């Protein structure tokens, strides 16, 4: 298992369990610094974006993982819900409160406020693709998290929302990432 770009991976045992060790702050802010995003960019192509966050804050979201065969998996919370709902891990270079509002391609309307601590954070993300997306800070799980193929029933609408798991790819400067 591995994130899309971050150079980390983990073996999966016979029962599907894995432990993906995420890079420490020092590694993310040095070796992996070129992978970090400004806050507005992480939401992708948006109409009338309004951002309140320190200009020095950089983030890196992990919304899905890829298998060695290229299959995308998400940590979906409730597959029975109509909206796509999953755990996302966001790295932040500093403690900060992020406020963002905009109408974003694939994500729809966003009006969110959440706090990030320096290091890795968990955000519960709920997306009705093309309609709306919300982000809520969550607690790190104490036990293994189930990961499911991103083409589950509630995620089937991903086909109608370009890059909903990687919204920054809707910006010209990130299309090849």
Q: 140-173 pLDDT, tens per residue?
A: 888 888 888 876 645 555 666 678 889 999 999 8
> From start to end of 77-170, where are the E strands?
84-92, 96-104, 108-116, 119-128, 132-138, 148-149
In a domain, 10, yes or no: no
Q: What is the pLDDT of residue 146?
A: 85
In a domain, 9, yes or no: no
The C-alpha atoms of residue 106 and residue 9 are separated, in whole angstroms, by: 28
In a domain, 74, yes or no: yes
Helix residue ranges per DSSP H, 9-89? 25-28, 39-42
In a domain, 60, yes or no: yes
Q: What is the pLDDT of residue 11?
A: 86
Residue spans of the chain under pLDDT 70: 1-4, 151-161, 177
The pairing of strands 37-38 and 84-92 is unpaired
Count CB neighbours of 161 within 10 A: 22
In a domain, 5, yes or no: no
Q: What is the pLDDT of residue 160?
A: 62
In a domain, 11, yes or no: no
Whole domain around residue 141: which residue ranges? 25-174
The C-alpha atoms of residue 170 and residue 34 are separated, in whole angstroms, by: 18
Query: How many domains, in total, are found in the chain?
Result: 1
pTM, 2 dp: 0.90
In a domain, 70, yes or no: yes
In a domain, 14, yes or no: no
CA 89 to each of CA 13, 43, 59, 133, 173: distance values in angstroms, whole numbers, following the listed order = 22, 15, 10, 16, 23
């Amino acid at each position: 298992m591995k994130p899309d770009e971050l150079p980390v991976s983990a073996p999966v045992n016979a029962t599907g369990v894995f432990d993906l060790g995420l890079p420490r702050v020092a590694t993310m802010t040095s070796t992996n610094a070129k992978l970090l995003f400004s806050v507005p960019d992480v939401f992708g192509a948006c109409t009338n974006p309004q951002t309140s966050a320190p200009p020095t804050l950089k983030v890196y979201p992990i919304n899905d993982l890829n298998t060695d065969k290229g299959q995308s998996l998400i940590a979906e919370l409730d597959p029975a819900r109509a909206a796509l709902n999953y755990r996302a891990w966001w790295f932040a270079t500093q403690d900060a409160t992020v406020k963002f509002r905009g109408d974003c391609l694939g994500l729809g309307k966003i009006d969110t406020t959440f706090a990030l601590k320096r290091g890795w954070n968990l955000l519960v993300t709920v997306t009705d693709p093309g309609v709306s997306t919300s982000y809520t800070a969550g607690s790190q799980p104490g036990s293994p998290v189930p990961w499911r193929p991103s083409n589950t029933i509630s995620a089937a609408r991903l086909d109608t929302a370009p890059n909903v798991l990687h919204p920054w790819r809707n910006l010209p400067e990130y299309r090849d990432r």
